[in-house]
């Protein structure tokens, strides 16, 4: 992805993280006995991930990509360690504790994987994820992006533009929104046996939000395949929105004419609106959103930083909300 105009989310050449944190091959390979997602295309090769690097995934999870192209987004931020990014998660299908996803997701079967496409589009049906990615991706891209909840991390995602994928299905003029749904399988996802949320997990975007270059589907992180606890085999990442908007383990995409119901706005509409944009000027009813805790951090040094409008991506996405009252449409 080429950005000609320097934005606040860009940085100088001296601030760019060394490419040794990324892998140098094109395809997902066999990993611990399972066939990972295959991808194809063209681009620029990246250097190999160094064994033993604290930012690296363990060798048992290593996979590889070729032709990775690093975007300009977020290079001025220091990456969060891999072990933090994969052990402190919200993935309520596996429990409500931060460590539950890592401890309880190992049995999730991510291959084969299909996605059902429905609604206002010319091409609908059940599609193999491998085929969707192969036919949608010209090059893998490194999105080194800040992801925010009450806490935040900086993660080098590997993925493909959501717009590229959605255009493959030829949405009609009636498609004003895009709805997403997570796998519902309590046998594999024990958290779904609880009554806290109305399963399956649901999310949605306006079609113009979905087509923004910052919206993408992640199939990897830190140069390797997505671990189960991070939303394998494919998840949405929307870096200008709060983390709960980034639905994991997607099995359904539906193009719709009216705003779809989403899990958190159904559960607590006074606390969680449809948009979920990072906005330090709009407090959550139970806490301020003017600051965030950047992980890793400790009790003595909690690493609290000021939250930026749209998480620092204002120049890229603010035009999507021109003229809107962002306190009303939160």
- Domain 69-321: which topology? Sulfite Oxidase; Chain A, domain 2 (3.90.420)
Q: Which residues of 224-245 are buried (b: 16+ CB within 10 A; e: fewer)?
A: bbbbbbbbbbbbbbbbbbbbbb
150 pLDDT above the threshold of 70: no
Domain map of the chain by residue range? 69-321
Q: Which residues of 148-174 are buried (b: 16+ CB within 10 A; e: fewer)?
A: beebbbbbbbbbbbbbbbbebbebeee
* pLDDT of 130: 87
* pLDDT of 158: 87
∠231-214-110 over CA atoms, to 5°? Answer: 20
∠42-48-49 over CA atoms, to 5°? Answer: 120
127 pLDDT above the threshold of 60: yes
pLDDT, greater one: 4 or 84 = 84
120 pLDDT above the threshold of 80: yes
* pLDDT of 133: 81
Q: Which two tokens stand for residue 222?
A: 């830190």
DSSP β-bridge partners for residue 8 = none
Confidence of residue 175 (pLDDT cuts 50, 70, 90): very high
pLDDT, greater one: 52 or 179 = 179
Confidence of residue 204 (pLDDT cuts 50, 70, 90): very high
Confidence of residue 289 (pLDDT cuts 50, 70, 90): very high
DSSP string, 58-118: PGGG----SSEEE-STTTTSPPPPHHHHTTS---GGG-SSTTHHHHH-TT---SS-EEEEE
* pLDDT of 134: 72
Confidence of residue 300 (pLDDT cuts 50, 70, 90): confident
Confidence of residue 64 (pLDDT cuts 50, 70, 90): low
* pLDDT of 111: 93
Indicate the SS3 state at residue 203: strand
DSSP structural state of residue 201: P
**CA dist., res. 144 & res. 76, Å (int):** 9
**CA dist., res. 272 & res. 282, Å (int):** 11
Confidence of residue 146 (pLDDT cuts 50, 70, 90): low
**CA dist., res. 76 & res. 145, Å (int):** 10
38 pLDDT above the threshold of 60: no
């Amino acid at each position: 992805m080429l950005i000609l105009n320097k934005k606040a989310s860009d940085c100088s050449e001296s601030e760019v993280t060394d490419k040794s944190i990324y892998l140098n091959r094109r395809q997902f390979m066999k990993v611990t006995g399972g066939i990972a997602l295959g991808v194809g295309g063209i681009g620029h090769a990246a250097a190999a991930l160094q064994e033993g690097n604290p930012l690296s995934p363990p060798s048992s999870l290593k996979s590889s990509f070729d032709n990775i192209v690093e975007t300009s987004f977020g290079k001025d931020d220091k990456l969060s360690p891999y072990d933090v990014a994969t052990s402190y998660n919200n993935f309520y299908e596996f429990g409500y504790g931060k460590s539950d996803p890592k401890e309880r997701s190992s049995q999730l079967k991510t291959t084969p994987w299909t996605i059902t496409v429905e609604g206002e589009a010319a091409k609908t049906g059940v599609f193999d994820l491998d085929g969707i990615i192969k036919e949608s991706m010209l090059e893998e891209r490194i999105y080194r992006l800040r992801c925010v909840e009450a806490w935040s991390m900086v993660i080098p995602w590997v993925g493909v533009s959501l717009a590229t994928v959605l255009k493959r299905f030829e949405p009609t003029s009636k498609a004003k929104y895009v709805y997403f749904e997570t796998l519902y399988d309590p046998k594999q996802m024990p958290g779904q046996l609880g009554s806290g949320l109305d399963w399956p997990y649901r999310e949605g975007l306006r079609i113009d939000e979905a087509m923004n270059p910052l919206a993408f589907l992640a199939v990897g992180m830190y140069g390797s395949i997505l671990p189960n606890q991070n939303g394998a085999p494919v998840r949405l990442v929307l870096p200008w929105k709060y983390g709960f908007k980034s639905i994991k383990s997607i099995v359904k995409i539906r193009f719709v004419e009216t705003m779809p119901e989403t899990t958190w706005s159904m559960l607590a509409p006074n606390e969680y609106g449809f948009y979920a944009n990072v906005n330090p000027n709009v407090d959550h009813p139970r806490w301020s959103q003017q600051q965030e805790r950047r992980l890793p951090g400790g009790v003595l040094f909690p690493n609290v930083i000021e939250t930026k409008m749209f998480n620092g991506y204002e120049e890229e996405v603010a035009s999507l909300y021109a003229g809107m009252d962002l306190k009303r449409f939160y």
